[in-house]
């Protein structure tokens, strides 16, 4: 018997081992094993079992898991994710399996015979320590002992649930404001919990969202609600893990770490406003949790509800492609809906501040709450000496500095290094320093100067948790002015009378084919979070943008989709950016040739759309793969192990 083992290393292939006789009866797919690797012992996961006998292969040391920790549906999801996000299976599995064997600390051994009474009441972990894994394993197989999980004190059951038959299920893309989303979710969750099914609800990975929904749902559904976030303590993570694995009727709220939770009775997957792609900065297994959650629902044959005020194009496309029911609550410009938003003429001026002040003054006079949005959080950037015009640049990388006044720091926007700020030009010694762009810190400071008696609250997301806690205390204060970046849109259920946008259109300059989509999402989510009665927009005349294009959502989606289609951009096509870096030209050409061959074999060589050569200290090739997702997926992982190759799925720039 041979098993293929995936290790958590950046190598896409698996390694084969012979299974010694004593372990043969226990070998199963997706069990963790220990095996000799690199003259030490590595832990990996069985991905395949063959019956033949291998010549010259090493033997497995032990099978560590008693039972598979994940079910068939999750296995399928892992395989899909490994291909889709071009990540070796071992790395995917490492992400979602509980670390080490801490599951065993939460399982209690119950003896059924005299022979085994000496381990009665011990934790499985302890029993294994004292009597050896193999012995305990044998007893369990022979049914001389049983396992109970300690949280519900119920028998521990193996997950045997296979995926449900796919019915004409009612997947929904719900586009609407927070209130209507909440109502919609609540109803769907109630009926699932009532019928004893588990609900998985994915929230944006920031304190505001978690806090909002956790409070509301805990009040409604009591101890049926679990929180499973990235910061959740191991013990309560394990409690959630066991509860939903062994029983139904629970609601799990969480962020990306919860999309791979094993569920005994999966009933519904909800994804709430998860359009930011935070996942890009992550280590190891990078994935878009929304996509995985949607895929999970589809693999398990259960409905998915994607809810947002401004779904990403990717999700909108996914919903259309997979025949989701699209429910759109018209609440932006629709007179009949609760939010009546009036957008005044667009102002334009050189300095926003001059025009901001009268609006704030007027609002304050009426005792209103006002929110001011600006794209940057810092005080200013692009610092230049007034006298000699020398720009302040990062000594490390020549990048442009952001000035953080409160911290007294210059932070390089390219490399992130920071330096103490000195108000003196390094070139001519002048101490008149100017900056061409301002941010939230600047606006907040100026407003404090002009309106010293008014509470000015800065929301930049530096420590959103703190900011929100502070907010709760002062929310009844009127008047109040919020100044902030797009973090303002992370607040849930705040009401301001006036929303002022300063330099919103600058977001377009951030580039990438998704910049327009980002503008759309930021605008809509600001409106969603702050529910303003009216919006004032200041933008420079030459950058003037018509806001109506963004407020008519239906039209926006169709026009943007058409633009993407015309330009062959995602989400209608999938894109991979493949970079090849080698020391010699020869080698690089060999690798590019190998890539071509792989694609030719798959019959999709026309997916390679451009080869660029860059020559610096070494040779660098860049190719772009684009085409139908189904065609590309299984092929791209095949490039992973080629020397010098780096693959980025869904690049922002290409």
In Å, what is the CA distance from 347 to each residue of 13, 363, 542, 595? 59, 17, 12, 53
Dihedral through CA 492, CA 495, CA 497, CA 503, nearest 10?
Answer: -10
**Shortest approach of DNA to residue 52 CB, angstroms?**
13
> Using CB atoms within 10 A of its CB, is residue 590 exposed (0-12), middle (13-18) or buried (19+)?
middle
**Shortest approach of DNA to residue 12 CB, angstroms?**
10
Q: Which is nearer to DNA, 15 or 504 (CB)?
A: 15
Q: Say whether residue 9 binds DNA (CB under 7 A).
A: yes
Q: Say whether residue 17 binds DNA (CB under 7 A).
A: yes
Q: How many other CB atoms are found less than 10 A from the CB of residue 53?
A: 9
Segment interacting with DNA (CB under 7 A) among 10-18, 107-115, 355-363, 464-472: 10-18
Q: Which is nearer to DNA, 22 or 386 (CB)?
A: 22
**What is the maximum span of the chain, computed from C-alpha positions, in angstroms?**
92
Give the separation between CA 426 and CA 387, rounded to whole angstroms.
12
Q: Say whether residue 36 binds DNA (CB under 7 A).
A: yes
**Shortest approach of DNA to residue 340 CB, angstroms?**
54
Give the separation between CA 405 and CA 450, rounded to whole angstroms.
18
Among residue numbers 184 through 223, which ones bind DNA (CB under 7 A)? none
Q: Which is nearer to DNA, 77 or 580 (CB)?
A: 580
Instruction: Find, among 373, 346, 303, the residue nearest to 532 by Cα.
Output: 373
Residue whose tokens read 């020559």: 615
**Shortest approach of DNA to residue 366 CB, angstroms?**
59
**Shortest approach of DNA to residue 501 CB, angstroms?**
43
Segment interacting with DNA (CB under 7 A) among 29-37, 307-315, 412-420, 433-441: 29-37
Segment interacting with DNA (CB under 7 A) among 11-19, 20-28, 266-274, 313-321: 11-19
Q: Which is nearer to DNA, 80 or 640 (CB)?
A: 640
Q: Which is nearer to DNA, 517 or 581 (CB)?
A: 581
Q: Which is nearer to DNA, 36 or 395 (CB)?
A: 36
Segment interacting with DNA (CB under 7 A) among 30-38, 144-152, 179-187, 437-445: 30-38
Residue whose tokens read 């667009």: 346
- Output the CA torsion sign for 386, 389, 395, 401: positive
Q: Say whether residue 615 binds DNA (CB under 7 A).
A: no
Which residues touch 615 (CB under 8 Å, ≥6 apart)?
none
**Shortest approach of DNA to residue 62 CB, angstroms?**
14
The correct pick among 10, 20, 408, 416 for binding DNA (CB under 7 A) is 10
Among residue numbers 562 through 591, which ones bind DNA (CB under 7 A)? 582-583, 587
Q: Which is nearer to DNA, 36 or 344 (CB)?
A: 36
The correct pick among 13, 29, 224, 446 for binding DNA (CB under 7 A) is 13
- Output the CA torsion sign for 30, 32, 33, 34: positive
**Shortest approach of DNA to residue 646 CB, angstroms?**
10
Q: To 5 degrees, how large is the angle CA 183–CA 189–CA 193? A: 150
Among residue numbers 447 through 476, which ones bind DNA (CB under 7 A)? none
Q: Which is nearer to DNA, 29 or 112 (CB)?
A: 29
Q: Which is nearer to DNA, 16 or 79 (CB)?
A: 16
Give the separation between CA 383 and CA 375, rounded to whole angstroms.
17
| Gyration radius of the chain's alpha carbons | 28
Which residues touch 19 (CB under 8 Å, ≥6 apart)?
1, 2, 3, 27, 59, 60
**Shortest approach of DNA to residue 384 CB, angstroms?**
37
**Shortest approach of DNA to residue 408 CB, angstroms?**
34
Give the separation between CA 383 and CA 446, rounded to whole angstroms.
18
Segment interacting with DNA (CB under 7 A) among 5-13, 165-173, 499-507, 628-636: 5-13
Give yes or no for a contact between 505 and 542, defined as CB atoms under 8 angstroms apart.
no
Give the separation between CA 441 and CA 462, rounded to whole angstroms.
12
Grouping H, G, I as helix, E, B as strand and the rest as coil, residue 559 is helix
Give the separation between CA 298 and CA 309, rounded to whole angstroms.
23
Give the separation between CA 383 and CA 380, rounded to whole angstroms.
8
210-219: long-range contacts, CB 8 A cutoff, minimum separation 24 = 210/253, 210/255, 211/468, 212/492, 212/493, 213/253, 213/272, 214/253, 216/182, 217/186, 217/189, 217/251, 217/253
Q: Kindly write down the DSSP assignment for every residue of 318-353, as one continuous string.
A: HHHHTT-EEEE---SS-TTSS---B--PPB--S-HH
The correct pick among 40, 472, 542, 546 for binding DNA (CB under 7 A) is 40
The correct pick among 11, 150, 333, 353 for binding DNA (CB under 7 A) is 11
Segment interacting with DNA (CB under 7 A) among 38-46, 112-120, 168-176, 346-354: 38-46
Q: Which is nearer to DNA, 39 or 53 (CB)?
A: 39
Among residue numbers 50 through 89, which ones bind DNA (CB under 7 A)? 57-58
**Shortest approach of DNA to residue 101 CB, angstroms?**
19
Q: Which is nearer to DNA, 47 or 298 (CB)?
A: 47
Instruction: Find, among 490, 476, 122, the residue nearest to 273 by Cα.
Output: 490
**Shortest approach of DNA to residue 45 CB, angstroms?**
14
Q: Say whether residue 38 binds DNA (CB under 7 A).
A: yes
Q: Say whether residue 408 binds DNA (CB under 7 A).
A: no
Q: Which is nearer to DNA, 9 or 75 (CB)?
A: 9
Q: Say whether residue 594 binds DNA (CB under 7 A).
A: no
Q: Which is nearer to DNA, 13 or 620 (CB)?
A: 13
In Å, what is the CA distance from 290 to each residue of 3, 45, 285, 318? 33, 26, 15, 11
Q: Say whether residue 16 binds DNA (CB under 7 A).
A: yes
**Shortest approach of DNA to residue 94 CB, angstroms?**
10
- Sheet hosting strand 369-373, strand order edge to edge: 455-459, 480-484, 369-373, 498-502, 534-538
**Shortest approach of DNA to residue 641 CB, angstroms?**
7
**Shortest approach of DNA to residue 255 CB, angstroms?**
25
Q: How many residues bind DNA (CB under 7 A)?
A: 19
**Shortest approach of DNA to residue 650 CB, angstroms?**
20
Kind of pairing, strands 266-272 and 369-373? unpaired
Q: Which is nearer to DNA, 41 or 215 (CB)?
A: 41
**Shortest approach of DNA to residue 507 CB, angstroms?**
34
Site residues (vs DNA, CB under 7 A) = 9-11, 13, 15-17, 35-40, 57-58, 582-583, 587, 643
């Amino acid at each position: 018997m041979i098993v293929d083992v995936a290790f958590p290393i950046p190598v896409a292939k698996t390694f084969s081992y012979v299974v010694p006789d004593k372990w043969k009866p226990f070998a199963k797919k997706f069990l963790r094993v220990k095996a000799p690797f690199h003259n030490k012992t590595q832990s990996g996961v069985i991905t395949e079992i063959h019956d033949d006998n291998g010549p010259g292969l090493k033997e497995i040391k032990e099978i560590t898991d008693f039972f598979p920790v994940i079910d068939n549906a999750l296995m399928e999801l892992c395989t899909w994710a490994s291909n889709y996000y071009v990540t070796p299976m071992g790395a995917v599995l490492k992400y979602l399996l509980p670390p080490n064997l801490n599951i065993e600390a939460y399982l209690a051994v119950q003896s059924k015979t005299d022979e085994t009474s000496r381990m009665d009441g011990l934790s499985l972990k302890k029993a294994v320590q004292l009597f050896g894994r193999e012995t305990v394993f044998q007893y369990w197989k022979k049914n001389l002992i049983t396992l109970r999980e300690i949280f519900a004190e119920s028998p521990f059951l193996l997950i045997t649930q296979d995926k449900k038959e796919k019915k004409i299920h009612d997947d929904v893309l719900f586009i609407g404001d927070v209130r209507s989303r909440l109502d919609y979710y609540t109803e769907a969750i109630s009926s699932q919990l009532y019928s004893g099914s588990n609900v998985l609800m994915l929230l944006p990975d920031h304190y505001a969202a978690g806090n909002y929904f956790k409070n509301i749902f805990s009040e409604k559904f009591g101890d049926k609600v679990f929180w499973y976030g990235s910061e959740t303590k191991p013990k309560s993570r394990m409690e959630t893990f066991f509860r939903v694995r062994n029983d139904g009727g629970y609601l799990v709220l969480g962020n990306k770490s919860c999309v791979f939770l094993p569920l005994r009775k999966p009933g519904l997957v909800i994804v709430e406003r998860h359009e930011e792609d935070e996942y890009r900065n992550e280590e190891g297994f990078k994935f878009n949790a929304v996509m995985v959650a949607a895929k999970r629902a589809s693999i398990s044959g259960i409905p998915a509800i994607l809810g947002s005020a401004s779904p990403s194009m990717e999700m909108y496309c996914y919903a259309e492609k997979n025949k989701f029911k699209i429910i759109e609550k018209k609440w932006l410009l629709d007179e009949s809906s609760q939010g009546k938003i009036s957008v005044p003429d667009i102002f334009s001026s050189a300095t926003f501040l001059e025009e901001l002040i009268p609006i704030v003054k007027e609002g304050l006079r009426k005792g209103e709450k006002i929110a001011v949005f600006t794209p940057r959080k810092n005080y200013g950037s692009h610092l230049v000496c007034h006298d000699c015009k020398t720009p302040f640049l990062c000594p490390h990388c020549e990048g442009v500095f952001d000035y953080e006044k409160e911290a007294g720091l210059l932070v390089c926007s390219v490399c992130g290094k920071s330096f103490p700020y000195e108000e003196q030009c390094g070139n001519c010694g002048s101490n008149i320093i100017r900056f061409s762009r301002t941010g939230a810190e600047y606006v907040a400071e100026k407003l404090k100067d002009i309106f010293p008696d008014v509470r000015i609250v800065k929301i930049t997301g530096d420590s959103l948790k703190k900011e929100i806690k502070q907010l709760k205390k002062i929310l009844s204060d009127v008047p109040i002015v919020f100044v902030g970046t797009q973090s303002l849109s992370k607040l849930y259920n705040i009401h301001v009378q006036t929303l002022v946008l300063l330099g919103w259109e600058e977001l377009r300059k951030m580039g990438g084919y998704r910049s327009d989509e980002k503008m759309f999402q930021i605008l809509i989510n600001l409106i969603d979070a702050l529910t303003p009665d009216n919006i004032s927009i200041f933008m420079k005349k030459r950058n003037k943008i018509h806001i109506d294009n963004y407020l008519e959502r239906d039209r926006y989606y169709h026009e943007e989709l058409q633009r993407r289609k015309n330009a062959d951009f995602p989400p209608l096509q999938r894109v991979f950016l493949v970079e090849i870096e080698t020391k010699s030209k020869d080698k690089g050409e060999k690798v590019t040739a190998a890539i071509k061959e792989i694609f030719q074999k798959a019959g999709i060589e026309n997916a390679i759309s451009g080869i660029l050569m860059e020559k610096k200290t070494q040779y660098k090739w860049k190719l772009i793969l684009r085409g139908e997702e189904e065609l590309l997926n299984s092929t791209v992982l095949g490039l992973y192990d080629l020397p010098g190759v780096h693959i980025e799925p869904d690049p922002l720039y290409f």
